[in-house]
Structure 1
């Protein structure tokens, strides 16, 4: 007997990478081996030297095919075994190892928007729907659109064993969110890429496009982000390290913004629950700040922070790498381990 292994990887498309996948048939019980692909077709190689290598790093049950079939998330490597330049997961690994003693945890809130026939799902054929307001966490066919896809995606993530922790309708018609975590940086980042693949694949069956565009509709409509909740062992035990982390993030504003997703200037305008992309601020319960400290964290005197800047189209390997490096470096300098 045999099973189907769906190899999934992140390509080299710029400015925002895409997901690719293909199927390998393997004998029952066999571990997914290294495999190759044509990098010249994925913006990762040139035609005269097109071979790239898929190195499996995470597997889970395939909830679409069912049975013993598997999803196989891969890193991309060069034929000599070194990580491909587009392999941001490989850049995260040494940072995770360096700061392992801090026990960093993450939770990511992935927003996305459904499109059909070139318009957000729920938008009329011409013009615009009623202004945003009733759609967030709404109920009823006049307020939410695409729930069948969202529920199917939730069930698929649960069946795959991904650490999904919730879903909700968002502020604009056709816009939704799912949350992953808490968990370690590699665990949550891997799960997010697989959850994105499942979202695209399930929406495909409904003839709907799921997009991570950070500003899918121009004008007076919310954008789409990937708010990232972050803590270390010290932050989960006391409040001072949270302030230290916030102050450190303000000192590396440009570096973080540059890695938080293409089109961030269109979304982080200072309106629609965002802070301006070129300014840094933090505050308790402030959804208009770059970084929000939840009110219960201040009340408890410990917990986590929420970086509200990452775009929906961000690479979680880059976001988690920068948050760990910036915050844990500052905590070590302050002696807050």
Structure 2
């Protein structure tokens, strides 16, 4: 994991880590914790969801979430391999589960403090793509991989400061929620980059733990 700089040793336009690190340094006394819930979909090389009938669809959503058993889950061997790769690499992976749509999964990373959250999340994504390569399938983070009445995919953010984790932390939580409410649409704009498809899976609620 590294930052990308230009020949002047300045961060390139897409290097948002430098900006994030500066912000995290400003609030380090608050000891911000993050926990990320990353959803993704496994696809065949033809772009069709892994395990789905090639000329149709599986049964309606309902029996797939946190499921077990053939016909309910697709690609658990990939999920298990990715989990072990993360553990071996030192990524703070903390759980995994089958999601609402068949061939869709989620894993959790954290809690991590400050900028380390982004580092662990990005490496976990890299390892997911690398693991899928060995199995000859694709991992997609597309927010709406299948049109129609099929679950989308996103990344929930769980967040807290030290004050929120102390006795009577609800006071600090309510203050944070009030501040967030005043910047609601600014946050959507920053996340969305005007891509309407992504709005269907934007998680504007920050879960506080």
Q: TM-score, normalised by structure 2?
A: 0.92
Shift of 1:263: 7.3
Paired residue for 1:108?
Answer: 36
Identify the residue that residue 76 of structure 1 maps to in structure 2: 4
Q: Where do 1:134-145 residues align within 5 Å? A: 134-145=63-74
1:122 counterpart residue number: 51
Choose from 218, 229, 240 the match for 2:171: 240
Task: Tell me the alpha carbon deviations over residues 14-72 of structure 1, each in whole angstroms, 9 at most, x when there is no partner.
Answer: xxxxxxxxxxxxxxxxxxxxxxxxxxxxxxxxxxxxxxxxxxxxxxxxxxxxxxxxxxx
The one-character-per-residue Cα deviations of 1:129-166 (angstroms, maximum 9, x if unpaired) are 11111111111110000101100000000011110000
SS at match of 2:94: strand
Q: Deviations over 1:66-96 (max 9, x none)?
A: xxxxxxx110001111111110000111101
In structure 2, what is the Cα distance between the partners aligned to 1:196 and 1:120? 19
Cα distance change, pair 143–131 in 1 and its aligned pair in 2 (3 A) = same
Q: Distance in 2 between matches of 1:263 and 1:129?
A: 32
Alignment partner of 1:99 is 2:27: yes
Number of the residue aligned with 2:17: 89
Are 1:176 and 2:90 an aligned pair?
no
CA RMSD of aligned residues (A): 1.8
Equivalence for 1:211: 140
What stretches of structure 2 of length at least 5 have no aligned partner? Answer: none
Question: What residue is the counterpart of 1:266 in the other structure?
Answer: 197
* 2:159–2:206 CA contact under 8 A, matched in 1: no
When residues 218 and 199 of structure 1 are mapped into structure 2, their CA distance, relative to the original with a 3 A threshold, is: same
Q: Determine helix, strand or coil for the equivalent of 1:109.
A: strand
Structure 1 portions without partners, runs of 5+: 1-72, 278-288, 294-303, 306-337
Measured in 2, the distance between the counterparts of 1:249 and 1:223 equals 24
Asked if 1:291 corresponds to 2:205, the answer is yes
What's the CA shift for 1:101? 1.0
Greater helix percent: which structure? 2
**Cα distance in structure 2, aligned partners of 1:179 and 1:121:** 21
- 2:116 maps to which of 178, 182, 187: 187
Q: Which has the larger radius of gyration?
A: 1
| Larger RCO, structure (CA 8 Å, separation 6 or more) | 2
Residue 265 of structure 1 and its aligned partner are, at CA, apart by 3.8
Partner of 1:197: 126
Matched pairs, number: 206
* Partner in structure 2 of residue 257 of structure 1: 188
Contact kept, 8 Å, 1:214 with 1:267, in 2: the verdict is yes
Pairwise CA distance, 1:105: 0.4
